Homo-oligomer: A and B are copies of this chain.
Amino acid sequence: MEKEHTETRSTAEESYPIRLLQLSDKDKGFVDLLKQLTLCDSISDVDLAARFEDISAHGDDHIICVIEENHSQKIIAFGILFIEKKIIRNCGKVGRIEDIVVDFSIRGKHLEQKIIRFLSEHAKSVGCYKIIPDDDDEMNKEFYEKCGFKEKGVVMELYFD
């Protein structure tokens, strides 16, 4: 049983490896993937390169991870972690997990959870005292609860015109 389980997991790893985003992933459809999450319809190559460079400059404090489907070579999952540097909590750090999206055609592979685990482990490794997942991420609420997350409160927002 153990051997079979290991082999199944290994096959899944090979089919859906997780790694950091590269700018060249635009050709593998990650911007199209983001359209499944929200408005993201007109990013020029110049704007995207500038934003990618800006985020990359933060190193371990702002990472974007993706899952590429091996057989199609398409980006089919995406998630962001950025580190908020506090003065409270004795200059502590908080990890914020944002903008998780998995291609709607991929079901039952628990790829959201793979993204969340990857980002959470990174947050812990860089010394965050806590992590706060995306407040839009209702889909994974049960998973978060199983991992020990607690409800903190209600979040509000204001869109500018």
Contact = CB atoms under 8 A, between A and B. Distances in A.
Nearest to A144: B156
A25 to B, nearest CB: 11
Interface stretch (A10-18, A106-114, A124-132): A124-132
A41 B154 CA distance: 28
Interface string A70-104: 00000000001010111111110000101100000
A49 to B, nearest CB: 10
B136 A88 contact: no
A149 B153 contact: no
Interface string A47-88: 110110011000000101000000000000000101011111
A1 to B, nearest CB: 31
Contact of A91 (B51, B131, B138, B151): B51
A147 B159 CA distance: 11
A105 interface: no
Contact of A98 (B41, B47, B84): B84
Given A129-B159, A135-B155, 20 more contacts: A34-B88, A39-B89, A39-B90, A40-B89, A41-B90, A48-B87, A50-B91, A55-B85, A82-B84, A133-B156, A135-B152, A136-B153, A141-B156, A144-B156, A144-B158, A150-B156, A150-B157, A151-B154, A152-B157, A154-B154
Interface of A: 31, 34, 37-43, 47-48, 50-51, 54-55, 62, 64, 80, 82, 84-91, 96, 98-99, 120, 124, 128-133, 135-136, 138, 141, 144-145, 147-160
